[in-house]
Structure 1
């Protein structure tokens, strides 16, 4: 039998090229993709939950148009069900990406692997860092993720200011990957926040900016600190500053505050903030309460900023 060598070579080259372009994932890699949190994927495409009750998170469906939310995510099982859709609209994270992106299985796996942080430490050890509260820091990098940028802008903070003080922190909790904005404290830890309502930290501590002035500003949280810079149109504080990161840290810094002529406080107008203010006054310190002067009708400086600034203007900053 005569063989058409040219046709054979053409067939071989085409199929060999096709084989080279194929990507095969082992079982371990596929399981890693499945562990990527569905809320993290939804957040990455700009979709936030309307309600959270324990492990049940409720969304408007990303798969179809609806006015009444019926898309549920079980965060403990990392699975979803669109009760207003078809029987096929349920499953794990890979299945969700397939439907949302209209893509094949391997493409969905690649998308999820892109959301899973690489194991890179912010320390000099070159290993991921486990913390006392069960979080494992996997990566710390400049703020670039679209969802986190939208989050800080929704809090009234311009992007250039946010990038100067915040990092993008990827971490593991119960072996599931998440990410948040991180504000570094003096103990080389990070105060973590994201748009899903998560508040956490990798290590407790205050954040200090010692400028050698005889007065000092005291903030309860880092968004209040950034709000002050935004409000006064500054890139850095003009006097020494302490961000408590929790009012529980106030007692530890009282000896430091006692060295200053005046304490300018920017605390919250809630029970914890008022108690902290009382502690400062009872410690015979010269306190000027900016919460009562600047934002007496708001919970904190950030709430005041958000109500009194054009957040949409910041999106192009």
Structure 2
């Protein structure tokens, strides 16, 4: 791994990999308990500026970029050791880079009730395509078919851009390395490929990962209809769409919310459903593949 590659990894993904407790986080900053003492302190003293990807530890009185952090954490002055350490964990850190945002609540900046959408256009921004292909390992042809890039400004005049995914209610789900939020109206997203079976996901990144895995394996990925909840709170909004199908395959997250939603789904369609044992899903989000047929 090169210095520039290491600097591009979000520091919060490194901290999550190291299992350092995060006390609080919004789309601008995250606060962690002292990572150099294994997170053993009562009050979080280490701040990570998410947008600039730099840190400062008030308890240690020092800060810097990812390289500075790992030099301190690994207790070394040897840059090669730091790069080797990061290189050996490159794939793991990429995985944590995904999950740290997938598990965070949709966020907005403090005291900013409104946004102004400046433009929405086809994917082309190199920063966003690199994020999708290099970080999230998404096939760009698939991403371009279902996503766009959005430019927007907050009420405080701060400008941002991100990958966006439209829902059926006219709102947008946004993802980038420093951002996860929704704009306008929350809703489900349905994709109708004129099929009798539907595959269910919680987030659009799960959908894109699933399609990418299918394509890489030489398998068809347009042989089913799809539904993305965009939040498990939208589950009941998807029931009318589900009722048009003969079978439902669920790739909801293997966490409390995902399991609860699956049980609700099973109860709603139990007359035509029976339990099956499924293999662990491989969408890169730690999910379990559950099915209703």
Query: Structure 2 length normalisation: TM-score?
Result: 0.56
Q: Is the 8 A contact 2:171 2:182 kept in 1?
A: no
CA distance in 2, matches of 1:146, 1:74: 19
Q: CA deviation at 1:142?
A: 1.7
Q: Is the 8 A contact 2:171 2:185 kept in 1?
A: yes
Q: Is the 8 A contact 2:253 2:285 kept in 1?
A: no
Structure 1 residue 257 corresponds to structure 2 residue 242: yes
Question: For residue 142 of structure 2, what is the aligned residue in structure 1?
Answer: 161
Partner of residue 176 from structure 1, selected from 140, 153, 158 = 158
Q: CA deviation at 1:274?
A: 0.6
Moved >3 Å (runs of 4+):
45-58, 70-75, 80-85, 285-290
Q: CA RMSD in A?
A: 3.6
- Report the CA distance shift for 1:177/1:289 in structure 2 as closer, same or farther (over 3 A): farther
Structure 1 segment 88-167 matched on structure 2, within 5 A: 134-153=114-133, 154-167=135-148
Question: For residue 177 of structure 2, what is the aligned residue in structure 1?
Answer: 195
Question: For residue 278 of structure 2, what is the aligned residue in structure 1?
Answer: 293
Structure 1 gaps of 5+ residues are 1-44, 59-69, 86-131, 306-317
Question: Deviations 1:246-280 (Å, cap 9, x if unpaired)?
Answer: 11111122133123221111111011111110001
CA distance in 2, matches of 1:288, 1:196: 41
Structure 1 residue 208 corresponds to structure 2 residue 190: yes
CA distance in 2, matches of 1:74, 1:48: 7
Question: Deviations 1:85-112 (Å, cap 9, x if unpaired)?
Answer: 9xxxxxxxxxxxxxxxxxxxxxxxxxxx
Question: For residue 302 of structure 1, what is the aligned residue in structure 2?
Answer: 284
Q: Is the 8 A contact 2:172 2:184 kept in 1?
A: yes
CA distance in 2, matches of 1:287, 1:269: 20
Q: Tell me whether 231-240 or 143-152 shows the greater mean CA deviation.
A: 231-240
- Report the CA distance shift for 1:284/1:48 in structure 2 as closer, same or farther (over 3 A): closer
Question: For residue 275 of structure 1, what is the aligned residue in structure 2?
Answer: 260
Count how many residue pairs are aligned between Structure 1 and Structure 2. 198
Q: Between Structure 1 and Structure 2, whose CA radius of gyration is higher?
A: 1
Structure 1 residue 185 corresponds to structure 2 residue 170: no
Q: Is the 8 A contact 1:265 1:288 kept in 2?
A: no
Q: CA deviation at 1:152?
A: 1.3
Give 3-state SS (helix, strand or coil) of 1:163's partner.
Answer: helix
Give 3-state SS (helix, strand or coil) of 1:228's partner.
Answer: helix
Structure 1 segment 214-229 matched on structure 2, within 5 A: 214-229=196-211
Structure 2 gaps of 5+ residues are 1-6, 16-21, 32-45, 65-111, 288-293
CA distance in 2, matches of 1:230, 1:257: 24
